[in-house]
Amino acid sequence: MTKFRFLTALALVTSILFGGTASAVPFQPVLDEFWIVKNGTELFRESFSGGGLPPSGPDGATTYSVSGAAGMTSESGGKLTMTPSLGDPVAITTTFADTFTGGLRTSSTNSASANFLGIASSFSIHALYDMSNLPTVTGEGFQLRATDRATGIGNQGDNTYTLNVGVNASGDVVLVLRLLNFAANTSIAIQSFNLEPFLGSADQIELFFTKAADSDDLSAFFVLYDASDNVLTSGQLGANTELDIYNGEDYIRAQFGSTARIPIPEPASILLLGLGLAGFGWSRRRK
């Protein structure tokens, strides 16, 4: 088998395996800032300006507990670029997403820690994402989470609220508030907001959760900005739903992350893949 024929066949098989083209650009959402305010004072801010890829950050090498570490691909110019297709398989299998990468704040399950977000505290957690690289298929998305999940101490988590920018069944880019239950393997959509009318002017989106002191309920909000930092639109999701989260736990943890969908070859492509592999075998025997 000549070198040219071998490389051509290899390119064909690679194309089939990875969704149509070997040079396809993966979904790479960009996070500009991630911060937490507690009792009216800024507790934590990550501006991604040279502290190293997560798990490193403002608090050193253990700032975050990272899921899908390979998906943390670049920190440059004050921004974190994620490639969720390189992350770990998702923990909830009832979603369209296949892989996840994310950073979860550490040192926040101990009530003696300044990072502790307990019922007595008022707080807000924020993520500012660029709108430069948007999801294109269902299952891709970038998000902010408020979670009671802490696998390091044996808690799988039954209340994780997520504000996720993704794609709905109609192909529109939408913001969805969901309740994830990692113990029950469920994902429930609470409310969505269609971002399509604003995409032509949108530059960044701020996602945030807030909680009042002595309350066990969250509130979920978003603000969409243009390139001049003018507000294009803003709002609250889940205003008519009780977003309770302290059910057996006394802490909440803040997390950012993104998801990807791994394409499955069409039947015809699978047939071509089989023929391609068979061709490799025939050429090998012929030689």
Q: What is the mean pLDDT of the chain?
A: 87
Give percent of the chain with pLDDT exceeding 90: 76
Measured between alpha carbons, how far is 82 from 257 in angstroms, rounded to an integer? 8
Rg (CA), the chain: 21
- Look at 20-24, 168-172, 248-252 and tell me which has the smallest mean pLDDT: 20-24
Average pLDDT over residues 24-36: 95
- Look at 14-28, 153-167, 172-186, 244-258 and tell me which has the smallest mean pLDDT: 14-28
Inform me whether the pLDDT recorded for 151 exceeds 50.
yes
pLDDT at 280: 42
Confidence of residue 267 (pLDDT cuts 50, 70, 90): low
55 contacts 73 by C-beta, under 8 angstroms: no
Inform me whether the pLDDT recorded for 66 exceeds 90.
yes
In this predicted model, which residue has the larger pLDDT, 22 or 83?
83
Inform me whether the pLDDT recorded for 283 exceeds 70.
no
Domain residue spans in the chain? Answer: 1-20+265-287, 26-262
Inform me whether the pLDDT recorded for 73 exceeds 70.
yes
For the segment 216-231, what is each residue's pLDDT rounded down to a tens digit?
Answer: 999 999 999 999 999 9
Token pair for 191? 């409310």
- Look at 157-171, 191-205, 266-280 and tell me which has the smallest mean pLDDT: 266-280
Could you write out the three-class secondary structure of the chain? Answer: CCHHHHHHHHHHHHHHHCCCCCCCCCCCCEEEEEEEEECCEEEEEECCCCCCCCCCECCECCCEEEECHHHEEEEECCEEEECHHHCEECCCCCCCCCEEEEEEECCCCCCCCCCCCCCCCCEEEEEEEECCCCCCCECEEEEEEEECCEHHHCECCCCEEEEEEEECCCCCEEEEEEEEECCCCEEEEEEEEECHHHCCCCCEEEEEEEECCCCCEEEEEEEEECCCCCEEEEEEECCCCCEECCCCCCCCEEEEEEEECCCCCCHHHHHHHHHHHHHHHHHHHHC
Long-range contacts of 154-161 (CB under 8 A, 24+ apart): 155/249, 156/182, 156/183, 157/181, 157/182, 157/183, 158/182, 158/183, 158/184, 158/247, 158/248, 159/244, 159/245, 159/247, 159/249, 161/209, 161/218, 161/220, 161/243, 161/245
For the segment 102-132, what is each residue's pLDDT rounded down to a tens digit?
Answer: 999 987 888 999 999 999 999 999 999 999 9
pLDDT at 227: 98
pLDDT at 153: 85
pLDDT at 274: 55
pLDDT at 133: 95
Average pLDDT over residues 72-84: 97
Give percent of the chain with pLDDT exceeding 70: 83
Q: Widest CA span of the chain, in angstroms?
A: 76
CATH topology (fold) of 26-262: Jelly Rolls (2.60.120)
Inform me whether the pLDDT recorded for 15 exceeds 80.
no
pLDDT at 263: 79
Rounded to the nearest 10 degrees, how much is the dihedral formed by the CA atoms of 21, 25, 27, 30?
180
Confidence of residue 25 (pLDDT cuts 50, 70, 90): confident
